[in-house]
Amino acid sequence: MQYMENHFDLRVDPTKLVPGARSVITLLMNYFPTAQPAPEAPRISKYAWGKDYHTVIRGKLNELLDTIQQKVGNIEGRGFVDSAPVLERSWAQRSGLGWVGKNGNLIHKQSGSFFFIATLICDLELEYDDPLAKDYCGSCTRCIDACPTEAILPDKVVDGSKCISYFTIELKEAMIPEEMKGKFDNWAFGCDTCQDVCPWNRFSTPTQESGFTALPQILELSTKEWEAMSEEQFKNWFRDSPLKRSKWSGIQRNLKFLHTD
């Protein structure tokens, strides 16, 4: 994914994004669901079950900045949630919120990894948290062993050329490579396998954010019903959903790939 390499200087230097920046405030927002999808439903990554997290979290970041400005005075700041060249994971680790696991996800010792990372960069100097020094993955390799496409490599590297999330969301080509046939484990949008098997996610608790409540269509529709869905229906049902990133055509391509011999 070439865009990950672009604007490297912006990624490592917060002052390039917020002139005069003195602090990076990192926040986590839980999205772990309470509901379970029907067995016949195609598998969709949990983060995409509710409203688009960009919209939900961006509003909260703006509220936080307003609150800080009211209490402290005139400061400059800017919030980011997966929307600019910000190294969210690295800043979260340096903020003391967890460690990067072997699957590349940030893991919090008390909460697991089913959360979004948000960042507020501002020119207010603060007392800074110490990063967590210990990596608690130890000798566990469950995520590596469970990955359907063997995309998780040593040294906490995920090979995007093998990752199901890449193929089902980021890949914009008309066809998914044939050599991946039979390896997707019915994932139609994203993949949670490496998180589902992670022992630290036994501490995951249901989200309290109503915006992340699962859409009934995601929980209830069978593969056949998804395949019969019109583009107009898709746009109507998922206009505020992360699924719109793949568009109707992308979802249909993924389903055809999963269920065509």
* β-strand pairing of 115-122 with 187-189: unpaired
Which of 3, 2, 26, 22 shows the shortest CA–CA distance to 13? Answer: 22
Catalytic residue among 9, 13, 66, 82: 82
CA dist 148 to 104, 119, 197, Å?
16, 31, 12
168-202 burial string, b = 16+ CB within 10 Å, else e?
A: bbebeeeebeeeeeeebeebbbbbbbbbebbebbe
C-alpha distances (whole Å) from 229 to each of 167, 223, 233, 261 are 21, 10, 6, 21
> Would you list the DSSP string of 57-119?
HHHHHHHHHHHHHHHH-S--EEEESSSSS--HHHHHHHTTS-EE-TTS-EEBTTTBS-EEEEE
- Residue 82 falls in the annotated catalytic set: yes
Catalytic site positions = 82
